[in-house]
Amino acid sequence: MWQIFVRWFHKCSSPKWFYQMSKPWSFWLGWAAFVLIGVALVWGLAFSPVERVQGNSYRIIFIHVPSAFLSEAIYMTIAIAGAVGLIWRIKLAFYVAKACIPIGMTMAFLALATGAIWGKPTWGDWWVWDMRITSMLILFLLYLGLWALHNAMERPESGDRAAAILALVGVVNIPIIKYSVNLVTTLHQPATLKFTEKAPMHISMLVPLLLSILGFYLAFLAWMFIRARLEILKRERKALWAQKEIEQLGGL
């Protein structure tokens, strides 16, 4: 049994096998994400009722919360993939981790920027040095650091390892982001969505929010597979099969 599992694990972690397998994935994930986010945003922007205290500015929630969720989830993906790469020396895990970085960086940026825009009419200022916002800024800087490490190394393998180590160290920041609004009294409101409680939100606002979150997750997966596949081709370009795939890509 164990033998079968190990063989399966090694087969799945072969870049070539993964490249062939994942060909149709991004297409379907991308379309599903497009439909979900489309429905969620039309619903959230035009059909959900106005919020009693915040007025229409609350409609920013339908992109603010999904991008913030994703920026943390993508960071955890990078850290876990990096650990798998370091422990079992699996190249594919490093490729996936690298593919996640630009997507996570844009999501952290979007969460911070939409938060600032939302903060202006709601709190009266674009920026406050609140614990939640500061720890999110640190998350964005960690993404920048990961990206810079990959670019700074002459050998891509050194970049993989250095970025994986930084990603693992930076995991400390994730619980800080998560609990910053529950432990300390700050301007940022506590988490709205919890697994343990019913959301204190009307269904007409909650459903588009959940659809949007799901759509963002699927969009991330679609983009991640596209980038991971390109990274595979780039790194395996000495192999004949990868050269053939690159030629197909360019329609030579």
Residues 69 and 216 sit within 8 Å (Cβ to Cβ):
yes
Instruction: For other proteins, give the closer residue by CB, 142 or 216.
Output: 216
- The smaller minimum CB distance to other proteins, of residues 5 and 47, is found at 47
How far out from the chain centre does Cα 191 lie?
A: 19
Q: Does 194 bind other proteins (CB under 8 A)?
A: no
Question: CB within 8 A of 57, min separation 6: which ones?
Answer: 118, 121, 122
The C-alpha atoms of residue 141 and residue 135 are separated, in whole angstroms, by 10
Q: In terms of CB distance, is 84 or 107 closer to other proteins?
A: 107
- The residue among 117 and 176 lying less far from other proteins, judged by its C-beta, is 117
Tell me the closest approach of the beta carbon of residue 19 to other proteins, in angstroms. 13
Alpha-carbon distances, residue 118 vs 13, 43, 127, 159 (angstroms): 43, 19, 10, 37
- Stretch 122-181 residues interacting with other proteins (CB under 8 A): none
Q: Binding string, 7-46, against other proteins, x = CB under 8 A? A: ----------------------------------x---xx
184 binds other proteins (CB under 8 A): no
> Contact between 226 and other proteins (CB under 8 A)?
yes
CB 115 within 8 A of CB 136: yes
Per the CB < 8 A criterion, the answer to whether 118 and 152 are in contact is no
Stretch of residues binding other proteins (CB under 8 A), selected from 15-23, 90-98, 135-143, 224-232: 224-232
Q: Which of residues 51-110 bind other proteins (CB under 8 A)?
A: 55-57, 59-60, 63-64, 67, 102-103, 106-107, 109-110
Q: Are 139 and 177 in contact (CB under 8 A)?
A: yes
CA distance 251 to 246: 9
Give 134's contacts (C-beta < 8 A, 6+ positions apart): none
The distance of closest approach from Cβ of residue 173 to other proteins in the complex, given in angstroms and rounded to an integer, is: 21
Q: Is 240 an interacting residue with respect to other proteins (CB under 8 A)?
A: no
For 244: left if phi > 0, alpha if psi spans -120 to 50, otherwise beta; the answer is: alpha
Residues that bind other proteins (CB under 8 A): 41, 45-50, 55-57, 59-60, 63-64, 67, 102-103, 106-107, 109-110, 113-114, 117-118, 120-121, 219, 223, 226-227, 230, 233-234, 237, 243, 246-247, 249-250, 252
